[in-house]
Amino acid sequence: MTKRFITIFFIVLITGFIFISCNSDNGIEPVPGTLDLDVLFYKDYIPDDTEGVYVFVAKDFPPHAINEMFLSPNSIPLGEDTVHTELSLPYGHYEAIGLWWYNKNTKTNLADVFTLKLGTNFLPYEFDITEDEPVHQTHIWANLEHVERDAFIEGTIYFNGPIPSNTLATAIGAYAKKPEKKIDYLIYLQSMDFSIDEAPYHFKLPVEGKGTVRYLAVFWLSDRSGLDDFKTLGYYEDPENPGVPAQIKLKSGETLSGIEIHADWDNIND
């Protein structure tokens, strides 16, 4: 009798548990929302080393990490004035839409995020995907000339000590405007090189051959910190006005050499 009871008890228990747990959901489901996007290209210029152009959407902007953005699974078609694309998204509020250029040489440059759709007050465009409105339609303008960096700024970064062991990355970045808010670090970025791995460091930063660099600075990210947590170690000062960021104007193919930047590790505690 006991054996029979134990057997029936276990069979009922296990079968019941299995069916209750499995009928509660079916696991991963299709993503319900869609961003319906038209990409409008200003010009038909495509750099030779283009691997592709991807659409990204961020729930938070600036995102804490690159992999917290939704990225189109493949490159949008290139070579046409207007490209229609769709990106599957879960329900929710989104704070940015942009385009990311990938080159064939895999040297990533955060500035390869070459287009960000702007809304009111020059802030990134925000939108919602909801059960009532699962499809959001919009467009974005794009110009691949922004990734054509055919001028160079060359020089040396001097540090007041070795690179700390808790470093995720140390970078030199060129900006069209001095960033004031966290969001500005991505919006005004023209070029950024994350390969600083020794002190002092000789750099050669590619920048656009038109436009003006109004802020050239050295940044530091600690282990586990995100893209929203840049620490500025030092910047290129106007030689005639110390304490003021220098402005740099370059032409296509030009190289400006002899730039010296002093990076102070004490600034990481700010």
What is the C-alpha to C-alpha distance for residues 19 and 266, in angstroms, rounded to an integer? 60
Q: Which is nearer to other proteins, 90 or 164 (CB)?
A: 90
Residue 239 beta carbon to other proteins: minimum distance, rounded to whole angstroms: 31
- Of the residues 138, 156, 195, 255, which one makes contact with other proteins according to CB under 8 A: 195
- Of the residues 41, 56, 61, 70, which one makes contact with other proteins according to CB under 8 A: 70
What is the C-alpha to C-alpha distance for residues 114 and 101, in angstroms, rounded to an integer? 7
Binding mask 72-111 for other proteins (x = CB under 8 A): xxx-------------x-x-----------x---x-x-x-
What is the C-alpha to C-alpha distance for residues 85 and 74, in angstroms, rounded to an integer? 10
Considering only CA atoms, which of 58, 78, 203, 77 is closest in space to residue 124? 58
Report if residue 26 touches other proteins, rule: CB under 8 A: yes
Helix (H, G, I), strand (E, B) or coil at 22: helix
Residue 67 beta carbon to other proteins: minimum distance, rounded to whole angstroms: 6
Report if residue 221 touches other proteins, rule: CB under 8 A: yes
Enumerate the β-bridge partners of residue 134.
none
Structural contact between residues 196 and 172, judged by C-beta atoms closer than 8 angstroms: yes
Stretch touching other proteins by CB under 8 A, among 68-76, 136-144, 181-189, 250-258: 68-76
What is the C-alpha to C-alpha distance for residues 129 and 138, in angstroms, rounded to an integer? 12
Q: What angle do CA 137, 140, 141 make, to 5 degrees?
A: 155
Residues that bind other proteins (CB under 8 A): 3-4, 6-8, 10-11, 14-15, 17-18, 21-23, 25-31, 51, 59, 65-70, 72-74, 88, 90, 102, 106, 108, 110, 168-169, 194-195, 221, 223-224, 227
